[in-house]
Copies of this chain bind each other. A is one copy, B any other.
């Protein structure tokens, strides 16, 4: 990167971190547990998010989602089928979400944060850009589908290293694509030792209950912010 660009980008990131800290405080005060979902395009983020929203709602939990995309409102339309309030953020060429987009879209959506238990943020499909941008989330989830290749953690280390949980998706296709589970886990462990890993299939529902259990526990056990 050019030195001048680098300097300006540093300023952008510092400003983003400040805004993200403010968001995190607001979320904690309101009792909202916030997640930032990142992955390359086509890992099945939206399908798994729809399944997650449905199951949390079935358990009586109050959920909402912000969905980032470079173009189109397809994902918001898909997610709205879950019955949860959903708002699309069209970034218009930007390859990631930033904290100020979250702030302005929360305001525009008019959601009462005190009336929410979980806020899901689906980032733009990209394994590079979103890694540097804190959105005030409690949990960053990186998704990796069995069809993508087991080497992705090594090739996109910042994204995997900055995540709290890795989700292996489309596990129903593992056999068809000869997914090498041992290699995938070894690569995740190499980049982010101790990373918690889940395996799910939005299609068959496999692993989704365990994932939702984990989210409910995480929210319950979160230390209240002073």
Set of chain B residues within 8 Å of A173, measured between Cβ atoms: 147, 173, 176-177
Given contacts A1-B94, A74-B154, A93-B158, is CB(A129)–CB(B129) below 8 Å? yes
The residues of B that contact A93 with a CB separation of less than 8 Å are 1, 128, 158
- Tell me the interface secondary structure of chain A in the complex: loop
Given A154-B74, A176-B173, A176-B176, residue A129 in contact with residue B95 (CB < 8 A): yes
Q: How far is the CA of A148 from the CA of B1 in the complex (A)?
A: 30
Give, as a whole number of angstroms, the nearest-CB distance from A10 to chain B: 12
Size class of the A contact interface (CB-based, 8 Å): 35 or more
Check: A219 CB closer than 8 A to any chain B CB: no
Choose from B74, B127, B176 the contact partner of A126 (Cβ within 8 Å).
Answer: B127
Q: Check if B170 sits within 8 Å of A70, measured CB to CB.
A: no
Which residues of chain B are within 8 angstroms of A41 by Cβ–Cβ distance?
40, 127, 148-149, 152, 155-156
Closest to A156 in B: B70
Distance between A127 CB and nearest chain B CB, rounded to angstroms: 5
Q: Which residues of B contact A149 (CB under 8 A)?
A: 41-42
A31 at the interface (CB under 8 A from B): no
Q: Given A41-B148, A74-B155, check contact A8 B4 (CB 8 Å).
A: yes
Interface set of A (CB-CB < 8 Å, partner B) = 1-2, 4-5, 8-9, 12, 40-42, 69-72, 74, 93-95, 124-129, 145, 147-149, 151-152, 154-158, 170, 173, 176-177
